[in-house]
Amino acid sequence: MTELQQLGMQIRYLREAKHFSREALAKKAGLSPRFLAELELGRGNIAFSRLLNLCGALDVPLSTLVAMIPDARQKEAKSSSSYSAILEMLSHRSVDELQEARLILAQRFDNHAKRLALIGLRGAGKTTIGKKVASRLRWKFVELDDHIEKAAGLTLQNIFEVQGEDYYRSLEKQTLLKFLNDPEPAVIAAAGGIVSREDTFDLLRRSCLTFWLKADPEDHWNRVLKQDPRPITNYPNAFAQLQNLLRQREPLYARADFQIDTSKMNLSQSVRQILKDVQDYFPARRIANFS
């Protein structure tokens, strides 16, 4: 691993530890989101003055950031023992754990996967916007809940009633792993509660460029009511529950790479903004059929 890659890894670690989205940190440090993304991937050679600005935005002294990078002189001596330790660590893992390890390594050292994940409460527009974005990119669109239902042989409501939430969350992660190990580019619409299980949400964020489709509570509510009715409409305090759920999840949703406010943007504007962010993030040579 080069020194630039180590620097990028530490910057991403600090950003996520402080719950900054890439877009928010870039703005605070006076950088473009694309350059910050390149820097985190070890491909951006940052000037000293801009690195100082970035340290200021992260509220971390430059000396601390540099100290987090291992001494290059120790690399060769440690390489053999590190390799053996990794093999030993993986030797007794389950199939699901090995798939997850493979994804982590691919994201860190290969980074060829092209995947977007849309998160947010029901009514944010994940399906509608996701299908439009996938069509423009000519990528596959995946509605994760549809595949969870197929895997369980039950509707979502029945899964929760018969098997319980723990079963659903376990199946959610297994289904997500299946699609993340598929090399075909995809746009994934995740369930609103995927952020509630930390290991699954971390897996999603490591493996996908994530977008939080946010909206005002009133817009969430009105959009849900226009869809197939759910039990939420049978409760007089349902809207208050929705508001409370949104408040609880907002800090988790905010960990996404980008935010799209669908209360302020219409469908076309939202799609265009996502496509622009995708084009800025991925090197142009790696986005096939972008139009």
What is the per-residue pLDDT for 240? 85
pLDDT of residue 118: 97
Pinpoint the residues of the chain covered by CATH 1.10.260.40.
3-67
Which residues in the chain show pLDDT less than 50? 72-73, 76-77, 111-112, 231, 284-291
Place of tokens 């997500």: 176
Contact 146, 176 (CB under 8 A): no
Residue 209, beta-bridge partner list: 116
Q: What is the pTM of this model?
A: 0.61
Instruction: Give pLDDT, residue 80.
Output: 55
The DSSP code sequence of 2-67 is -HHHHHHHHHHHHHHHTT--HHHHHHHHT--HHHHHHHHTT-----HHHHHHHHHHHT--HHHHHH
To the nearest 10°, report the CA torsion of 66, 69, 72, 73: 90
Predicted pLDDT of residue 231: 46
Burial class (CB in 10 A: 0-12, 13-18, 19+), 202: middle
Is the separation of the CB atoms in 180 and 226 below 8 Å? Answer: no
**What confidence score (pLDDT) does residue 228 get?**
56
Please name the residue ranges forming H helices in the chain: 3-17, 22-29, 33-40, 48-58, 62-67, 75-90, 95-105, 126-137, 144-152, 156-158, 165-180, 198-207, 217-226, 238-253, 267-281
Q: How far, in Å, CA of 41 to CA of 12, rounded?
A: 9
Question: Which amino acid would we find at residue 99?
Answer: Q
Q: Where are the CATH 3.40.50.300 domain residues in the chain?
A: 97-286
Tokens of 268: 């076309």
Question: Per-residue pLDDT tens for 29-67?
Answer: 999 998 999 898 888 888 888 899 999 999 888 887 877
What residues contact 266, with CB distance under 8 A and at least 6 apart? none
Q: Name every residue whose Cβ is closer than 8 Å to that of residue 144 and which is 6 or more positions away in sequence.
A: 172, 175, 176, 179, 188, 189, 190, 191, 194
Report the pLDDT value the prediction gives residue 233, as an integer from 0 to 100. Answer: 52
Superfamily of domain covering 97-286: P-loop containing nucleotide triphosphate hydrolases (3.40.50.300)
d(CA 4, CA 40): 9
In one-letter notation, the amino acid at residue 250 is E
Question: Quick one: which of 200, 217, 187 has its CA closest to 252?
Answer: 200
* Helix H or strand E segment including 260: strand 258-261
Q: What pLDDT, on a 0 to 100 scale, did the predictor assign at position 135?
A: 93
Type of residue at 127: T
Which pLDDT does position 288 carry in this prediction? 45
In 10 A of CB 233, how many CB atoms?
11
Q: Residue 214 forms beta bridges with which residues? A: 261
- How far from 137 is each of 62, 199, 265, CA to CA, in Å? 39, 28, 20
* The CATH classification of domain 3-67, taken from the options 3.40.630.10, 1.10.260.40, 3.30.390.30, 3.40.640.10: 1.10.260.40
Would you state the pLDDT for residue 113? 57
pLDDT digits (tens, 9 = 90+) for 96-117: 677 677 666 655 555 445 789 9
Length of the chain: 291
